[in-house]
Chains A and B, each alone.
Chain A
Amino acid sequence: MSKIDELARKTGEWLRGGGPLSEVVISTRIRLARNLAGFPFLSRCTEQQRNDVQKLLKEQIERLDLGQELFYVDIDQADELDRLVLMERQLISRQHAEGEGSRGVGISVSETIALMVNEEDHLRIQVLRSGLGLPETWDEIDRIDDMLGASLEYAYHQRYGYLTACPTNVGTGIRVSVMLHLPALKFTGQLDQVFQAARDMRLAVRGLYGEGTEAVGDFYQLSNQTTLGKSEGQIISEFEQILPKVIDYEKQARQALLRDKLTSLDDKIWRAYGMLQYARSVSSEETLFLLSHLRMGVNLGRIDQLSLKTVNELMLSTQPGHLQKLRGERLAGEQRDAIRAEYIRQRLHGPSEN
Chain B
Amino acid sequence: MLCQRCKKNTATVHLTDIVKNEKRERHLCEKCAAEEGVTVKQQVPINELLANFVMEQSGARELAKLTCPECGTSFLEFRNSGLLGCPSDYDAFAKALVPLLERAHEGASQHKGKSPTRGGADREKQRQMTALQRQLAEAVEKEDYELAADLRDRIKALEP
Chain B residue at smallest Cβ distance from A199? B40
Interface membership of B41, Cβ < 8 A: yes
Interface membership of B65, Cβ < 8 A: no
Which of chain B's residues 47-94 have a Cβ closer than 8 Å to chain A?
A: 70-73, 81-87, 90-91
Chain B residue at smallest Cβ distance from A279? B21
Stretch at the interface among A106-114, A187-195, A239-247: A187-195
Which of chain A's residues 5-62 have a Cβ closer than 8 Å to chain B?
A: 35, 37-41, 43-44, 46, 48-49
Contact B84 A41 (CB under 8 A): yes
Contact A229 B108 (CB under 8 A): yes
Contact A37 B40 (CB under 8 A): no
User: Once the chains are docked, how many angstroms separate the CA of A229 from the CA of B109?
Assistant: 6
Chain A residues in 8 Å Cβ range of B43: 168, 204, 225
Interface membership of A80, Cβ < 8 A: no
Interface membership of B95, Cβ < 8 A: no
Contact B41 A156 (CB under 8 A): no
Interface string of B87-121 (1 = CB under 8 A from A): 10011000001001100111111111111111011
- Shortest Cβ distance from residue B75 to the other chain A in the assembled complex, whole angstroms: 12
Which of chain A's residues 200-234 have a Cβ closer than 8 Å to chain B?
A: 202, 204-206, 214-216, 225-234
Chain A residues in 8 Å Cβ range of B6: none
- Shortest Cβ distance from residue B36 to the other chain A in the assembled complex, whole angstroms: 8
Chain B residue at smallest Cβ distance from A150? B117
Query: Using a Cβ–Cβ cut-off of 8 Å, how many residues does chain A contribute to the interface with B?
Result: 68
Chain A residues in 8 Å Cβ range of B46: 166-168
- Shortest Cβ distance from residue A160 to the other chain B in the assembled complex, whole angstroms: 5
* Contacts A39-B133, A48-B140, A214-B16 given; does A229 touch B105 at CB 8 Å: yes
Chain A residue at smallest Cβ distance from B86? A40
Contact B16 A155 (CB under 8 A): no
Interface membership of A133, Cβ < 8 A: no
Chain A residues in 8 Å Cβ range of B91: 157
Contact A230 B112 (CB under 8 A): yes
Q: What DSSP secondary structure best describes chain B's contact surface?
A: loop
Chain B residues in 8 Å Cβ range of A206: 42
Interface membership of A149, Cβ < 8 A: yes
Interface string of B120-142 (1 = CB under 8 A from A): 11010110011011100100100
Contact A154 B116 (CB under 8 A): yes
Chain B residue at smallest Cβ distance from A272? B18
User: Once the chains are docked, how many angstroms separate the CA of A199 from the CA of B38?
Assistant: 13
Interface membership of A259, Cβ < 8 A: no
Interface membership of B147, Cβ < 8 A: no
Chain A residue at smallest Cβ distance from B13? A214
* Contacts A38-B133, A202-B106, A286-B23 given; does A157 touch B111 at CB 8 Å: yes
Chain A residues in 8 Å Cβ range of B114: 142, 145, 172, 231-232
Interface membership of B151, Cβ < 8 A: no
Contact B116 A46 (CB under 8 A): no
Chain A residues in 8 Å Cβ range of B37: 189-192, 195
Contact B108 A205 (CB under 8 A): no
- Shortest Cβ distance from residue B99 to the other chain A in the assembled complex, whole angstroms: 11
* Contacts A153-B118, A168-B46, A191-B37 given; does A215 touch B129 at CB 8 Å: no
Contact A156 B140 (CB under 8 A): no
Chain A residue at smallest Cβ distance from B14? A214
A–B pairs, 13, beta carbons within 8 Å: A40-B130, A41-B86, A120-B83, A149-B116, A160-B101, A160-B109, A162-B111, A198-B40, A214-B13, A214-B15, A215-B15, A229-B110, A231-B113
Q: Hey, which bits of chain A sit against chain B, CB under 8 A?
A: 35, 37-41, 43-44, 46, 48-49, 120, 142, 145-146, 149-151, 153-163, 165-168, 170-172, 174, 189-192, 195-196, 198-199, 202, 204-206, 214-216, 225-234, 275, 283, 285-286, 289-290
Given contacts A155-B87, A228-B111, 4 further A-B contacts (CB under 8 A): A40-B130, A44-B73, A192-B37, A229-B108
